[in-house]
Amino acid sequence: MTGRLSQKWFDAIANGTKTVEGRMEGNKTWQVGDKVIFSCDDQHLTVEITYVRPYSTIADMVAAEGAVHLTPGHTPEESEDIYARIYAPCKDGKKRIVAYGLRLITK
């Protein structure tokens, strides 16, 4: 299992501040216990999926999971905007978004 991240979010997972990753339903089908290798350029880290929680909208996900865990250093409103730029269909509920709990295994 693999996933790509921008440098900012890769670093946040590596330093332990980002503990939840949101993905549009259908893009990834990770399950609890899966090991996922995230990459950014030539860097890689491995996480274990600790939970899978689907939400109807991005706002629902941010409210339940917390911006501090999804987008460290950003307000809930900024977190919603960040995810909406990536996953526009999830903003208004046309597609569901899934929150994946992350536990860092290796950097």
Q: What pLDDT, in 10s, does the model give residues 26-71? A: 866 899 999 999 999 999 999 999 999 999 999 999 999 999 999 9
Q: Is the pTM of this model over 0.85?
A: yes
- Token pair of 97 as six digits: 């978004």
CA distance 88 to 103: 27
**Residue 20's pLDDT is what?**
98
pLDDT in tens, 86-101: 998 877 778 899 999 9
The alpha helices in the chain, defined as continuous H runs, are 7-14, 58-65, 67-70, 76-86, 88-91
